Amino acid sequence: MQNDKAIVENKDVCDKIFNYVDKPDNFHMCKAMNVYDDRYRVNIYVKEDVSDITGHKLYINSSYFCKYNGTDLTIVS
C-alpha cells in the first residue's frame, strides 16, 4: 500500500537544531520533515558557488534524525 500523505515541515525543529549543532558558514536552508509520530528528518542545505552556467550548487551538508515533543529536541542520529 502506498502512502501519498504529504510530509509536513516544521520550522520550530529547524530553529532548535542550531542549539545543538553549528550553523555552516554557507548555510542556505533547513528542512525538518515529520517522518512519523514525533520523529523528524532534519536536512541542512548549503550553497556553494561554482564556475559553471548555474553559478552555484545546493546540497545537503548534514542530516539528523530527531525526536521533538513540541518543546524539547533530541538528536537520535
The full set of domain ranges for the chain reads: 11-75
Query: What CA–CA distance (Å, rounded) separates 76 from 62?
Result: 14
Query: What CA–CA distance (Å, rounded) separates 27 from 68?
Result: 22
pLDDT band (50, 70, 90) for residue 54: confident
- Concatenating the DSSP letter of every residue in 7-74 gives PPB-HHHHHHHTTTSPPPTTEEEEEEEEEETTEEEEEEEEEEE-SSSSSEEEEEEEEEEEEE-SS-EE
Backbone angles phi, psi at 17, to 5 degrees: -60, -30
- The pTM (predicted TM-score) of the whole model is 0.84
- pLDDT tens digits, 2-50: 555 666 678 999 999 999 999 999 999 999 999 999 999 999 999 999 8
